[in-house]
Amino acid sequence: MRILGINAFYHDSAAALFDNGRILSAIEEERFTRIKHDNQFPFKAIEFCLKSKNLTINDIDYVAYYEKPLLKFERILETFLDTWPYALGPFLKSIPDWLGNKIKVEYLIRKKVCYKGKIFFLPHHYSHAAAAYFSSPFRSAAIMTIDGVGEYQTTGLWIGKNNSLKPLKLINFPHSVGLLYSTFTAFLGFRVNEDEYKLMGLSAYGSPRYEHKVRKVIDIKSDGSFALNMKYFSYQESFRMWNRNFERLFGKPRKSRDPFEKRHRDIAASIQKVTEHIYLSALNHLYSLVPQTNLCISGGVGLNALANGMIYANTPFRNVHVLGSAGDSGAAIGAALYVHHGILGNKKRNPITSLCIGSSYTNAHIEEVLRSNKLTYKKFSNENELIDTVAKLLVKNKIVGWFQDKCEYGPRALGARSILSKASPRSMKERVNIIKRREQYRPFAASGLQEYIHEIFDVQEKAHASPFMNFCFRVKKERRQEIAAIVHKDNTCRIQTVSPVNGRYYKLIKKFYELTGTPCILNTSYNLKGEPIVETPAQAIDDFQKTKMDYLIIGDYLVSKH
């Protein structure tokens, strides 16, 4: 039984293909169009998923779409009527899109994709909840979904048991932690639905002295439920998310090219702290409703690694699963899984243990591209020799591009399309940020051997696993100098635990550990500022040639500039 999951028309459009509940392939549309966070209908992603398994659309039994477009349009109409006449401008601008493709999803699937079978349209937060729960190893779990907005819902507390998902408590638009966080993202000169992680990184450089002011714009109850004070927000009726009352409270907004002032850093720290308070309060309330230690989280706010890192110390949950693609791209996975388990009633579970499920290229193709670019390269016929060579380059403070096997699904580089370096000295951070062409305050993540992660980081469990890089933990004081390039200003680091399931990447880090005694390296996504993660060998080579990366390891080839 083959199911194709699709999400589109908000951000990070994607497609995911399943066979009998087991994920076969998944990829975001941006990887092909090279438009970061591309929100158009994912024709190219669908084509890839089918071709990668030698299938046609006629081989698909069901299509699952991640939300209900008509219900979402109903909410937009209600918002327009509630805010008339102030929302006239944004409404008139959005109507052509909605009367075009956004509301005609079935038409696109039928006429453009040429699909003749059954289509299921799932509520947005059901797709999130299903992505979180059915991708986990748990047969029962507490679930939290939290994002900007779906059709109406913005936050949900759920229970998952066997094949069922049951909502327990919901919060609806316009009250939204995701929209609150995005408001401050825009206010500080960043891009909404793209740069929220920059706000999170900036927060470490400030102090939360505006926390009392943030709490004026949102009323937070002891159980983590909340309501925004809408007199400070204008996203219901204008193109800007805040209004003059908001500016009277926080001052003038920062323009994107303005330098960061202390006020900006402190505002970032304040909204991050309030978000963490809401997050943890809601989770503790969820535990009172579902008193068990298994927890699943999904939705864009679930990518807040700082908040996730606080779960173990501040809630009773002990087994926490956050899928790497917790945002809308992951909802394509969730929609397909909900059809398989929740609607069709299939009981067998297939937990997702790896998100390296995208495109790959043969050595023959790679060598052809290397030759056409007239590059100096060496092919390794022995994998151990390749691993040994690259590990020694990292020890010598070389920065390498790493392009291996199938590309990752979701926003994190997990050792398939990565830029790698040694995690010390601290100057490595500056060097890699220059290569990435991004702000120097931005931190980098760690990829570390799972069996040794407790020696470097303050994790609750010795056998802690976070393979999708969605948790930040404090670095132990005595190890901070050893990995100074990935220790953030607040002494935390976002980590990916690497195990034998990661194949060649695990072998590389293990060899590096044997040479240095340090079980982790710096890992960042293989892309430059403003572009998606590289998808093809040609793109990897292009970024390699126009930056100060020292070497490129692509397939079985080591590429040098000298």
DSSP 169-227: EEEETT--HHHHHHHHHHHTTPPTTTSHHHHHHHHTTS--TTHHHHHHHEEE-TTS-EE
DSSP helix, strand, coil percent of the chain (3-state; round to 5):
40, 20, 40
φ, ψ of residue 287 in degrees (nearest 5): -65, -35
- Say yes or no to pLDDT of 533 above 90: yes
State the Cα–Cα distance between residues 457 and 504, nearest whole angstrom: 24
**Order of strands across the sheet with 319-322?**
164-172, 153-161, 140-146, 294-298, 319-322
23: number of CA atoms within 13 Å, CB side?
27
pLDDT band at 555 (very low <50, low <70, confident <90, very high): very high
Indicate the angle between helix axes 177-187 and 262-289, nearest 10 degrees: 170
> How open is the CA angle 205-209-212, to the nearest 5 degrees?
140
Mean pLDDT rounded to a whole number for the chain: 96
| pLDDT surpasses 90 at 96 | no
264 contact partners, CB below 8 Å, separation of at least 6? 188, 189, 202, 206, 254
Helices (H) and strands (E) in the chain, counts: 20, 21
Fold match between 2-133+326-343 and 363-560? no
Closest CA to 276 of 243, 240, 301: 301
Strand ranges, E, within 235-360: 294-298, 319-322
Average pLDDT over residues 43-59: 98
Structural domain boundaries in the chain: 2-133+326-343, 172-322, 363-560
At 80 the pLDDT is 78
SS3 161: strand
Q: Which residues fall within 8 angstroms of residue 485, CB to CB, at 6 or more apart? A: 421, 422, 423, 424, 425, 426, 427, 428, 429, 432, 444, 522
pTM above threshold 0.75: yes
> What pLDDT digit, counting tens, does each position of 310-331 carry?
999 999 999 999 999 999 999 9
pLDDT at 484: 98
The answer to whether the peptide bond before residue 137 is cis (omega within 30 degrees of 0) is no
- Residue 72's H or E segment, with its range, is helix 69-83
Task: Tell me whether the omega of the peptide bond preceding residue 69 falls within 30 degrees of 0, making it cis.
Answer: no
Q: Any idea which residue has 């590309």 for tokens?
A: 407
Distance in angstroms (rounded) separating the CA atoms of residues 45 and 51: 10
Cα–Cα distances in angstroms (integers) from residue 248 to residues 231, 244, 360, 557, in the given order = 12, 6, 52, 58
Residues constituting the chain: 562
Q: What is the topology classification, in CATH, of domain 172-322?
A: Nucleotidyltransferase; domain 5 (3.30.420)
- Residue 91's pLDDT band, with cuts at 50, 70 and 90, is confident
Give CATH for domain 2-133+326-343. 3.30.420.40
- Please compute Rg for the chain using Cα positions: 23
Q: What is the pLDDT of residues 108-143, one digit of tens each?
A: 999 999 999 999 999 999 999 999 999 999 999 999
| Residue 101: band (very low, low, confident or very high) from pLDDT cuts 50, 70, 90 | confident
Q: Find the mean pLDDT for residues 193-215.
A: 96
Assess whether pLDDT exceeds 80 at residue 162. yes
User: Rounded to 5 degrees, what are φ and ψ at 331?
Assistant: -65, -25
pLDDT at 250 over 80: yes
**Averaged pLDDT, 175-195:** 96
Helix (H, G, I), strand (E, B) or coil at 380: coil
Question: Residue 100 — pLDDT band, cuts 50, 70, 90?
Answer: confident
Neighbours of 305 (CB within 10 A): 23
Residue 84 has pLDDT above 90, yes or no: no
The proportion of the chain whose per-residue pLDDT surpasses 90, expressed as a percent, equals 93
pLDDT over 80 (residue 85): no
The span from the CA of 147 to the CA of 13, in Å, is 16
Average pLDDT of the residues in 267-292:
98
What pLDDT was estimated at residue 99? 74
Q: Which amino acid is at 251?
A: G
Over residues 403-431, the mean pLDDT reads 97
Distance, CA of 271 to CA of 184 (rounded, Å): 7
According to the model, what pLDDT value does residue 166 have?
98
Average pLDDT over residues 97-111: 88
**What pLDDT is attached to residue 94?**
77
Q: Does 463 score more than 90 pLDDT?
A: no
| Average pLDDT of the residues in 200-225 | 97
Q: Which pLDDT score is estimated for 19?
A: 98
pLDDT of 479 reads 98
What is the C-alpha to C-alpha distance for residues 333 and 28, in angstroms, rounded to an integer? 11
pLDDT of 87 higher than 80: no
Confidence at residue 302, expressed as pLDDT on a 0 to 100 scale: 97
Contacts of 31 (CB under 8 A, 6+ apart): 45, 358, 359, 407, 532, 533, 535
Domain spanning 363-560, CATH architecture: Alpha-Beta Complex (3.90)
